[in-house]
Amino acid sequence: MYLTKEEERILDGEMGEARQLAMEVVVKVGEVMNAEKLIPVKSAHISGVSYKNIGDEGLEFLHELRDKGGMFTVKTTLNPSGIDLDKWSRMNSDEKFARKQVEIISVFREMGAIPILTCTPYFYVDISAGDHLAWAESNAVLYANSVIGAFTNREGGPLAVFEAIVGKAPYVGLHLKRNRFPSIIFDLKNVRDYVKERGLYANLGYYIGYVAKKGIPLIRNIPERLREKDTLKLFLAAIGASSGIGMVILENISPEYLNIRREDLSCLETLAPDVKEIIDTSEKIQKSNLEDVDAILLGCPHLSLNDIRRIAMFFKYRKPKKRVILFTARQLKRLAKKYIELLEKNNVEVYYDTCMVVADLRRMNVTSCIVDSAKAAYYLTAQGYDVKILGLDEVLRVATE
């Protein structure tokens, strides 16, 4: 693999032990993947932040990197942690857990990370079409590639840390224009009306990921509401949960769609799923006969300003009769203040910095829940929770019954 003079000097340890180690890992990965060179990235987003996920081993590894002089050389943001940094005792989080979590965030901060602690960095970090990134959160990767037209592979948590230190990633996979071409077509003509009516965008995304598994699906005949950013994030997160996919091409949405010629698609397989296939696939990650639940959970991926406004407006006139818990980014504390005050006045719980999957829901007295997110359903079901997925409108209606 070609290395610049500067990269060679880093590899020789001339710029410190941590950068040398990081460069060794990034180069090794590049070589395994047959990269011709490294590409500078504009930003990195790290996903292994919760103490629940990385544990003492992860914390020790971060301490070591920091002690060796590890500093991020590009804008580096963090995914949700295991607690709300201000309201962790209200979440009934374990004190030791909270202490360890704060320590993890402090070490990342000392290394230069910006602790936005959200999985929706695409709403807060300045990125544009054509930017190269080293992002590690699957929903963020899918959004950056498929909606914004940025270039990032779906990095593993530790690799994103090393790439953030060297400020570069192997020039392979989705960094290369020639690889950003569809491998299969999903035509939604048979399910578009049903999905729209029931708001089951997450179930649809889960199905597409589950069937395609990898590659780049081209998605046609997209339901109208799926053109909205907030619906897209739910849909793309679900694709990321059921597959290793890092990018889809959305008809008339993805910048790449403009480069596709009709004749290039003639050799691709086209699937036109029916409603039953979508329902059957999402049955695998939920309990459809769940009647009574401990709580309604929204915010996987983190709720946006629009989402918060919409939910607040709904509850302005109809009080929730079930426990409702929302997860969002701390950036919205100020931006969505009036809506959040309205929600809290109606006993809706709002947490920042964390999410339903990486927090400890059992300590919050939740063992069964309704969500609008297939990604949340997938991970919570795997953690032993009883989960049901409904479209957002139905979730809100159920909350008031």
Using CB under 6 A, list all residues that contact ligand F3S.
Answer: 79-80, 119, 139, 237, 300-302, 355, 357-358, 375-376, 379
Closer to ligand F3S at the Cβ: 270 or 306?
Answer: 306
9 CB neighbour count, 10 Å cutoff: 15
d(CA 268, CA 264): 8
The smaller minimum CB distance to ligand F3S, of residues 168 and 233, is found at 233
Give 119 or 249: the residue with its C-beta nearer to ligand F3S. 119
Asked if residue 179 lies in contact with residue 158, where contact means CB atoms within 8 angstroms, the answer is no
CB of 278 to ligand F3S, least distance (A): 20
Query: Smallest distance from the beta carbon of 220 to ligand F3S, in angstroms?
Result: 25
Residue 350: which H helix or E strand, with range?
strand 349-352
Q: Which is nearer to ligand F3S, 30 or 80 (CB)?
A: 80
Residue 321 Cβ vs ligand F3S, minimum distance, rounded to whole Å: 25
360 to each of 38, 170, 328, 380, 399, how far by Cα in Å? 39, 35, 16, 11, 22
Q: Which residue, 179 or 367, is less far from ligand F3S as judged by CB?
A: 367
Q: How far is the CB of 373 from ligand F3S (least distance, A)?
A: 7
Our CB check for ligand F3S shows the closer of 125 and 376 to be 376
The token duo for 393 is: 């409108």
Sheet holding 368-371, edge to edge: 349-352, 324-328, 295-303, 368-371, 386-389
Rounded distance, CA 376 to CA 356, Å?
7
- What separation in angstroms does the CA of 239 have from each of 58, 204, 212? 27, 8, 9
- Closest contact distance (angstroms) between CB of 355 and ligand F3S is 3
For residue 182, count other CB atoms closer than 10 A to its CB: 21
Least separation in angstroms between CB 362 and ligand F3S: 16
Distance CA 372, CA 203 (A): 9
- Cβ of residue 237: shortest distance to ligand F3S, in angstroms? 5
Q: Between 26 and 298, name the residue whose CB sits nearer to ligand F3S.
A: 298
Please check whether residue 326 is in contact with residue 299, taking contact to mean a CB–CB distance below 8 angstroms.
yes
Q: How far is the CB of 358 from ligand F3S (least distance, A)?
A: 6
The residue (of 78 and 342) whose beta carbon lies closer to ligand F3S is 78
Q: Cβ(240)–Cβ(142) under 8 Å?
A: yes
End-to-end CA, the chain: 61
Q: Are 188 and 380 in contact (CB under 8 A)?
A: no
Q: Rank residues 101 and 139 by Cβ distance to ligand F3S and give the closer one.
A: 139
Least distance to ligand F3S from the beta carbon of 301, Å?
A: 4
Question: Around Cβ 13, how many Cβ atoms within 10 Å?
Answer: 13
CA distances from 288 to 177, 283, 292, 369, 393 (A): 42, 7, 12, 12, 17
Choose between 20 and 373: whose C-beta lies nearer to ligand F3S. Answer: 373
* Residues 25 and 166: beta-carbon distance below 8 Å: no
- Taking the complex as a whole, the smallest distance from the CB of residue 188 to ligand F3S amounts, in Å, to 23
